[in-house]
Amino acid sequence: MKTKNSTKKKLAAFALPALVLSFGFYGMILWTGCGVNSGSVLVLGLMWVPAVSALFSKLMVDHSIRGMGWRIHAQSLPCLGIAYLLPLVLCGVVYGLAWSTGIGTLGEFSFSQTAVFATAGVVINCLAAMGEEIGWRGFLLTELRQLMPVRQASAVIGVVWFLYHAPVIVFSDYNNGNIPCSLLCFFVMVMAFTFVADALCVKARSFWPAVVLHASHNVFVQSIFDPITVTGRYTRFVTSEFGVGLALAYLAAALLLCAGMKNQEGKENPVKAVPHRTR
């Protein structure tokens, strides 16, 4: 009971600054008109709201930031590899189908520039992705697993993550031009992405696979595959973060990955066996 009460206090201490800071950044992004796709410092600030809120909560209640999955273990390494390669594979399938069917067209691109994005670009993007993943996986996944099984925790995190993005999808340039379609496809993709990221983090006993998965996804979708795709009338309804292609691709990946790990979770006590309790 003491553990559950402490968890509820930490969740409450996380929610308040997360709401206040998020709406502050939403307002500044909309007021300045910089948009999300500009990569401004305001967007980076918004991405670090979950981490700041999580660290504030941990320090307020636990007086420590331990137990969030900071360490990389031996079993983390395969999960890190999967996290890096999965967005590349899914983008290859989705964008490859779009190019081959004429929904979109493969444009000109530089192999050297692509290689830089796929390596150094992912490493640099990890600095931004950490801001969200410390909050979603390092904090929320760990704390929610004190109260419920991991799949229920993933469902909650997925909804929270979607709502966190919804204002910029509706009111800024972060969409495919059709807001209802963007919201629906992004919701499916984020929910599926969450189950994939959480499954990898549970297996790895660390939040780092989620950081790599998030950074790899951002780079391969936003910096590589989207720019080299010449869009037609329906391209953005299939490709990009707001197309049905990646939504279904991540959904398939989530079903396969979670099915492969279901036996592990079934043997755990969701209250006592929390994989992130590492320094």
pLDDT value of position 84 = 98
pLDDT averages per 10-residue partition of the chain, 279 residues = 83 96 93 72 94 97 94 92 97 96 92 95 96 97 94 96 96 91 97 96 95 98 95 92 96 86 50 41
pLDDT value of position 193 = 97
Cα 11 from Cα 67, distance rounded (Å) = 15
| 216 neighbors 250 (Cβ within 8 angstroms) | no
Cα 1 from Cα 11, distance rounded (Å) = 15
**Residue in the structure block whose two tokens are 């997360």:** 18
pLDDT value of position 36 = 72
Among 172, 171, 173, 176, CA closest to 232: 176
pLDDT value of position 263 = 53
pLDDT value of position 270 = 36
| 199 neighbors 257 (Cβ within 8 angstroms) | yes
pLDDT value of position 31 = 86
- What does the buried/exposed string (b/e) look like for 163-186 if buried means 16 or more CB atoms within 10 Å of the residue's CB? ebbbbbbeebebbbeeeebbbebb
